[in-house]
Amino acid sequence: MTVLSAHESAYTRRIRELAQTELLPLLDHGGDGRVNRALLAAMGNHGLLRDLFGGSPDEPPSDAAAMRLCLLRETIAGVSTEAETALALQGLGSYPILQSGRREAVERWIPGVVRGTTVAAFALTEPTAGSDAAALALTAARDGDGWRLSGEKIWISNAPEADVYTVFARTTPDAGARGVTAFAVAGNAAGLSGEHLDLLSPHPIGRLRFDDVRVEPADVLGEVDAGFKVAMRTLDLFRPSVGAFAVGMAQAALDATIDHVATRHAYGAPLATQQSIAHKLADLATQLEAARLLVYTAARTYDGGATRGEITRRAAMAKLFATEAAQVIVDQCVQLHGAYALRRGHLLEHLYRDVRAPRIYEGASEVQRSIISRELFRERTTP
């Protein structure tokens, strides 16, 4: 059995061509560290944002398909990391609404997300609660039939420009993960403010401040005090696709390096004829293929309806291995290029900066190792 079906291979070829012809020309339409709304609108027009949810341009959004998401992210990452990140953030920010939102919330936000006219964001991390999501302190205090949100979020992608945020807030004090609720919060809500943060990233990241921001019962995603489940179901889907993003970057780096060593001469012969370089490329290609297979396996496990524990474990493995491998691959490709790869604007210089963040966001590598080991022991004790 091939890794990709004929249909999946044809899909990736179509996406790559579309990214090269329709998305690349729009990359300079966004300011530095700002949301590129023209790029998102083009993605919407071409059905890419609808594909995030497992549909096709001629179908209504459905439950997200993990393999489709991974193919999208890997393919577009090989063309443009900026375009890939813009697409992925739309999915991450809006999937909890589609997955767990009331009908009113879905109808209010999802059509605009799919069209690329509504910018979405996933607001989980706080100044004192990153990987330990159960330590969230942003409060949701009861106010009649609704709530008032007070506190701060930080390192939020697309903030403060997003039109809608999936926000996780504490509704029950001292209850850990069991006291967190997810809400859909409009970006222009009264009392919500924010600022951009200057990070080494290809997309906008910011801080959000909530000063008694009112949310209604229709804004609740899932059940009250069950927001942690909403977050984990979302991350189980998106973590393998972070690995796919890493695979796409690593493939672009490796392709460029193979071309470079085949044409670059040293000591009277192409670099590729030196055994040490040829063997290095063989090792990098093997790491890349192993990462890709882990990502695809995790995606197919999700789509196949496996147990939640198996989905979580394979998602963590895929993200861990693929992001760590991509870091090594891009670094070694820079080494094989030499000083050329350090020039600002070079593909490898760009990838070298962009490949670092995926080892941190959506659960750092250390967190993924903890998840994997936890699931291993849970499987051992399960009858």
Cα 338 to chain centroid distance, Å, stands at 30
For the cut 60, the answer to whether the pLDDT of residue 58 exceeds it is no
Contact by Cβ (8 Å): 254, 329: yes
Confidence of residue 382 (pLDDT cuts 50, 70, 90): low
φ/ψ (deg, to 5) at 184: -95, 120
Q: Which amino acid is at 56?
A: S
Domains, the chain, in order of start with CATH, read 6-119 (1.10.540.10), 122-225 (2.40.110.10), 228-379 (1.20.140.10)
Q: Select which of 82, 126, 324, 362 is catalytic.
A: 362
Query: pLDDT per residue over 207-256, tens digit each?
Result: 999 999 999 999 999 999 999 999 999 988 999 999 999 999 999 999 99
What is the C-alpha to C-alpha distance for residues 126 and 357, in angstroms, rounded to an integer? 17
Residue 227 and residue 117: Cα distance in Å, rounded? 26
How much is the pLDDT for 52?
84
Q: Please check the confidence at residue 65 and state whether its pLDDT lies above 90.
A: no
pLDDT beyond 50 at 59 = no
pLDDT of residue 379: 78
Query: Confidence band (pLDDT; 50, 70, 90) for 62?
Result: very low
Share of the chain above pLDDT 90, in %: 79
Stated pTM of the model:
0.92
Task: Choose the most confident range, by mean pLDDT, from 7-11, 138-142, 375-379.
Answer: 138-142
Residue 365's pLDDT band (cuts 50, 70, 90): very high
Q: Is 362 a catalytic residue?
A: yes
Mean pLDDT to the nearest integer, 71-81: 96
Region of poorest pLDDT, from 24-33, 284-293, 341-350:
24-33
Q: Does pLDDT of 171 surpass 50?
A: yes
CA distance 166 to 183: 6
Helix (H, G, I), strand (E, B) or coil at 102: coil
Q: Are 348 and 250 in contact (CB under 8 A)?
A: no
Q: What is the pLDDT of residue 31?
A: 66
Predicted confidence (pLDDT) at residue 53 exceeds the cutoff of 80 = no
Per residue in 264-322, pLDDT tens? 988 888 888 899 999 999 999 999 999 999 999 999 999 988 898 999 999 999 999 99
Average confidence score pLDDT of the chain: 92
Q: Give strand pairing partners of 146.
A: 143
Q: Give the tokens for residue 38.
A: 């023209």
Q: What is the pLDDT of residue 28?
A: 80
How many helices (H) and strands (E) are present in the chain, helices listed first? 11, 10
Structure tokens at 292: 């890709």
175 vs 189, residue with greater confidence: 189
* Amino acid 64: pLDDT: 45
Q: What is the mean pLDDT of residues 21-42?
A: 88
* pLDDT tens string 90-145: 999 999 999 999 999 999 999 999 999 999 999 999 998 877 777 899 999 999 99
The mean per-residue pLDDT over the stretch 343-362 comes to 93
pLDDT value of residue 54: 63
